[in-house]
Structure 1
């Protein structure tokens, strides 16, 4: 039985402490409270308290919350938990002195993303870590992934005979799929690949013999599959050696390299001195969102603090571990929780109305193994009553806060319309939150896939309800990216009339078939159009990409043309975002015209990295319904939520490489022989997504 952690009174002991913070129980507040206590009670300077989290946004929030909590402790009116901490202090003057020093030196507070922490250590202790001083950090390593995949493909398949090429057609053995495979390896540095590669020449010989003998297709198919799996496995071994070497030769490193390099430095025989210096530098460590850790990150903290008398707090919630596709591994959390010196939970929910909390408790208490995986249990939480003070009412009456809609397979296509109709009813009726009328900004529709927001947004627009999309979808996969590629191709080849016509047919230029035909038949007008594209070409060549795009947007009146569409804000936001990304790619990679076009084409057609700066930006902050992916909603809260796409089928094979856990180790199974284990693990993740979706609402969840 895990004990409840009291932010003001639970002893701050040495060793490893795991705090499981269920949704809405005040995780960030708890971290701020622990930091305050180490400052006030233990007298540890703010710069010696290490706090890490996973995004720059979360880092900024933590930094602000910790500073506010320290300021609050020095004031007269305090939050209850701060009051309890201050009341315990015997020497108030000494406490005030410590906290004032902390505020004065707050710019030196050690609050980082995990990658920021690793970068700081590697830079400050370059000698101990063995990292060269002049290494450049690149935010996009896709060019290296593509280069490695292309070189492997050229070395192994450019000389193959036509028979082999025909047999491999349709198999998962193309450069783009090798890039996807390599991306999986870079996301999971400790990923074990199975089976090991076979002797490719032997398999090729057998295939040739079977083809000559006219063997049955079943036996031939099996051999071809073995060949493909062997090549994939061979590529994994080769790429893991090539990718780091090529980046080292060019003096660059990625964000993932920051983690692996620090981990390797700590593991070395001479790493003892580095571990000791880091413990002296950071006497306390608080790791936020620990459910999203991975084996390398956990290894770093284990090596620094293992066996020491330092205090390390891992704060997270395995029920909200939904970032496996980015390399996060909930099994690492469970492993760490098993060996921790102590485990606590937070029992009070500060987010939701009491009946909504009770409803969520009732759902997940139906089974002891509700979260499928052993080790993830469901501790019931109680509502604080804070949200009930300003409850959601309709015509002055409170209603059921948790509602289920059952849709048959035939009716699923109408789910968007049903959601939009219910939202319209809420906005047009007498629904109030406290004393104020409910507004569009109070409502969020949570979706599972990046393909789902357009349907919801259209259904809302049909009822004249404003909405904005907050999604993890990549802008490089948007329609605007494909159109921008057509425009850039035309600027690059202004004398190629067919390509120029394709650019003019984009929505940015807005010419339909009849308008294009009319323009082409007018010799003077058509020559003027080609001359404009030639001018853009010269501008790009002489002054750079951004100057050219600025001139094109103004000269062709692209902004006003896009904004004339119903979703014009979305289209324009995507286009400006793409221009910014392309400019960054130009600067980082020193791309010319052809290089930039090739880069964009690869990003559109291939498996691009799931980077945060590629994600769709919010097109507007107006009073509008939020359409948010479940992954993006984590850590956020809304008045009313709709989860219309809860049902999701587990892994069906074919689209993604199969991964599963063998003990605590993550395995990439190229043979796909462990499908049942994989399906069970994906079912567990689907349940965790359900939990995240149901716990975003303060007042009502559909």
Structure 2
């Protein structure tokens, strides 16, 4: 797949841009908007930008305005703009005859003067506007009241259906009221267009499907009866208007006539109904740019379907990728590519593609390898059950290791962009809130909840922590066989070794080796900033001793 050049020819037709994390999706949308306007390809009022969520819409609006402002100001001095190597888009816009550069600046100025009229909206907001513009061509009640949530209506429908079906029936109900309420909420919930399974009516599964279908159908009838619409109604009403056998073609022309350029951000989370609207209204009629990353599709629970992205890519006239990562440094990009490069994630067309790094050197120094894979052995963590240790102890050990790694990072010699690494530079990603709380509590006991080593002496002890600051590093790494470090692209093998940092001495006792190569400390020598769980719990790194005898 070829790399997309934001300074190359402007996209036409339907273009799908695959944009991995950090490759500048929002930057690209803002830059293309500035170019379409400045080069006279479209007025700002003829460009529609669609994104996911109100917060993302506000951010995109701010970024587009900033891009237009910087371009207009830069073109006031074309000579300086042509040599500004920090802004390739501005250089491109300034590289024209003086008369054309002046026209480009005037177009940008007019766009900024009427910026409030720009269509930068969510998919649902766009559908609402189009329904209002279609008027009688859409089967929409202009007096209908919008509601964000119809759970009260669903509960009312379930109550009525349950009583109507089972009250006075000779046989006991095949499902409880709570079960029917759960089925109804799922059927009318975030993915209302989904087909209900099983398709057959046999047995209890078939009866449950019919019950869910009855709730869905009755909820839709009552919404129309009382004049209510929600987000999904906007989608389905516009889709039905565009697909109408008699008036659909005219409705599509009317919608497409409003915009010469349509760009959709986070397209990987588009559901089939949203894509059908975009396909019918804009595909083959106007310039349609779809930007997303199928590897980041996360909204299947609300109908977002990554196969929709793949279907759109198959229909696109042009498919390209954003090939430069502007967020991460080259050593980390190379290490990640060594692990994931070329991997197909659930589909042969969803592939981790190589990207270049805008930052050739690592801005983080003194912190070891850019990517480290850490592994816990199954043994050394208490009694095994069917060859597997208790997951609670493993999670404790992982939390302790993460906390120790962060403490070593913050209290060592690591620097980022020439300054000492600060707690705000560190992020810990976990799967669940419980795991996040465990790591946070462990860091709190290490005294690293809110202060750096320099502030430790003047900071009061944390309210529910053990320490008053970030303690100095000790030998905290997992021992032999426990730390797999990715060395470089040229070495595909991983090596395991304990940390080379010396263990600190204790005023009342000496350090003892635990299973797994960790360092255990007698209770009297247990620092107030200990990174382990409270006493009376077993040592997570595998010691047979109780915490009343030793901490880890």
The TM-score with structure 1 as length reference comes to: 0.58
Structure 2 distance, partners of 1:341, 1:464, is 56
Q: Are 1:252 and 2:197 counterparts?
A: no
Query: Match of 2:328, SS?
Result: coil
1:432 Cα deviation from its structure 2 partner: 1.7
| 1:413 equivalent in structure 2 | 395
| 1:381 equivalent in structure 2 | 355
Structure 2 distance, partners of 1:382, 1:181, is 48
Query: Does the CA-based 8 Å contact 1:196-1:234 persist in structure 2?
Result: no
Query: Match of 2:354, SS?
Result: coil
| 2:87 equivalent in structure 1 | 80
Q: Are 1:194 and 2:203 counterparts?
A: no
CA displacement 1:214-268 (0-9 Å, x = unmatched): xxxxxxxxxxxx22x1222102322232122111112111111111111111111
| 1:284 equivalent in structure 2 | 261
| 2:423 equivalent in structure 1 | 440
Query: Does the CA-based 8 Å contact 2:267-2:290 persist in structure 1?
Result: yes
1:440 Cα deviation from its structure 2 partner: 1.7
Query: Does the CA-based 8 Å contact 2:158-2:184 persist in structure 1?
Result: no
Query: Match of 2:234, SS?
Result: helix
1:102 Cα deviation from its structure 2 partner: 0.5
Gap change, CA 1:177 and 1:84, over 3 Å in 2: farther
1:176 Cα deviation from its structure 2 partner: 4.7
Q: Are 1:327 and 2:303 counterparts?
A: yes
Gap change, CA 1:183 and 1:81, over 3 Å in 2: farther
Query: Match of 2:189, SS?
Result: helix
Gap change, CA 1:144 and 1:450, over 3 Å in 2: farther
1:160 Cα deviation from its structure 2 partner: 4.8
1:188 Cα deviation from its structure 2 partner: 2.4
| 2:50 equivalent in structure 1 | 52
Structure with bigger RCO (C-alpha 8 Å, 6+ apart) = 1
Q: Are 1:183 and 2:193 counterparts?
A: no
1:295 Cα deviation from its structure 2 partner: 0.2
| 1:272 equivalent in structure 2 | 249
1:87 Cα deviation from its structure 2 partner: 3.5
Query: Does the CA-based 8 Å contact 2:187-2:212 persist in structure 1?
Result: no
1:316 Cα deviation from its structure 2 partner: 0.3
Between structures 1 and 2, the one with greater helix share: 1
Structure 1 distance, partners of 2:253, 2:303, is 29
- For residues 183-222 of structure 1, the aligned pairs below 5 Å read 183=186, 185-198=188-201
Structure 2 distance, partners of 1:133, 1:392, is 57
Query: Does the CA-based 8 Å contact 1:47-1:109 persist in structure 2?
Result: yes
Query: Does the CA-based 8 Å contact 2:187-2:215 persist in structure 1?
Result: no
Query: Does the CA-based 8 Å contact 1:69-1:82 persist in structure 2?
Result: no
| 2:487 equivalent in structure 1 | none
- For residues 124-523 of structure 1, the aligned pairs below 5 Å read 124-160=133-169, 164=172, 174-176=177-179, 178-180=181-183, 182-183=185-186, 185-198=188-201, 226-227=203-204, 229-268=205-244, 269-308=246-285, 310-365=286-341, 369-385=343-359, 388=361, 391-394=363-366, 399-407=368-376, 408=378, 410=389, 411-414=393-396, 415-466=398-449
Gaps of 5+ in 2: 75-80, 379-387, 451-461, 466-552
CA displacement 1:32-55 (0-9 Å, x = unmatched): 111111111234111110000001
Structure 2 distance, partners of 1:22, 1:447, is 21
Query: Does the CA-based 8 Å contact 1:135-1:253 persist in structure 2?
Result: yes
Structure 2 distance, partners of 1:184, 1:291, is 23
1:434 Cα deviation from its structure 2 partner: 1.5
Q: How many residue pairs get matched?
A: 428
CA displacement 1:317-336 (0-9 Å, x = unmatched): 00111221222110110111
CA radius of gyration, larger in:
2
Structure 1 distance, partners of 2:177, 2:463, is 38
Query: Match of 1:351, SS?
Result: strand
Gap change, CA 1:25 and 1:150, over 3 Å in 2: same
Structure 1 distance, partners of 2:73, 2:402, is 46
Gap change, CA 1:443 and 1:273, over 3 Å in 2: same
1:157 Cα deviation from its structure 2 partner: 3.3
Structure 1 distance, partners of 2:187, 2:296, is 22
Gaps of 5+ in 1: 200-225, 468-563, 568-702
Structure 2 distance, partners of 1:316, 1:84, is 27
Deviates more, 1:312-321 or 1:42-51: 42-51
Structure 1 distance, partners of 2:162, 2:448, is 51
Alignment root-mean-square deviation, CA: 2.4
- For residues 608-647 of structure 1, the aligned pairs below 5 Å read none
| 1:7 equivalent in structure 2 | 6
1:71 Cα deviation from its structure 2 partner: 1.4
Gap change, CA 1:144 and 1:192, over 3 Å in 2: same
Structure 2 distance, partners of 1:250, 1:323, is 31
1:59 Cα deviation from its structure 2 partner: 0.9
| 2:503 equivalent in structure 1 | none
Query: Does the CA-based 8 Å contact 1:8-1:84 persist in structure 2?
Result: no
Structure 2 distance, partners of 1:177, 1:319, is 35
Structure 1 distance, partners of 2:201, 2:183, is 22
